[in-house]
Homo-oligomer: A and B are copies of this chain.
Amino acid sequence: MPESSNVQPPTDPQALAEAVGEHMFKRDLASQLLGMKIESIGPGAARLSMRVRPDMLNGHRICHGGFIFTLADSCFAFACNSRNHSTVAAACMIDFLAPAEEGDLLIAQAQEQSLAGRSGVYDIAVSHADGRTIALFRGKSRRIAGEVLGNAPQTLA
């Protein structure tokens, strides 16, 4: 169950997206564990980076596909929650195009393709810093009850 803060959310869509992203990221220990950074965020969009560390390699000594997916999935989460409606991933699909190696800086860029009712579709491209795409991710989102910011439940002090 998502908790919410009692901060009053901004009304400007860009400021709202930034405030939601900052709030989510502080609580998102998973994205922090992998050293992700939010490069930019906006309504329906987000851009994250992650550097491939030695402890992110798999048995083939390339970056574990799960961490490339996790970067894309976090980027998806920031994009689909950017309008402050609590939203979760229902299904995701990823095509791995090229491997990533230790030390590589990966960039994920999310774009909203569709948003109708409670369902959305988002495309996230994961690239090397030089622009070569290494994975294409498509996520289907489902809005759930609640807001990320400003809908302070009693259980929060």
Contacts and interface: CB of A to CB of B under 8 A. Distances in A.
Contacts of A23: 59
Task: Kindly report how many copies of this chain are found in the complex they form together.
Answer: 4
Interface in A23-46: 23-25, 27-33
Contacts of A77: 58-59
A95 interface: yes
Given A55-B33, A140-B91, A74 B70 contact: no
Given A30-B58, A93-B138, A140-B91, A64 B74 contact: yes
A94 B89 CA distance: 10
SS class of chain A's interface: helix, strand, loop or mixed?
mixed
B29 A57 contact: yes
Interface of A: 1-3, 23-25, 27-33, 54-67, 69-74, 77, 81, 86, 88-99, 113-114, 116, 119, 121, 123, 125, 133, 136, 138, 140, 148
18 contacts: A1-B62, A24-B58, A28-B57, A29-B56, A30-B56, A30-B57, A31-B64, A33-B56, A66-B66, A67-B70, A90-B96, A90-B119, A90-B140, A91-B95, A113-B133, A113-B136, A123-B123, A138-B138
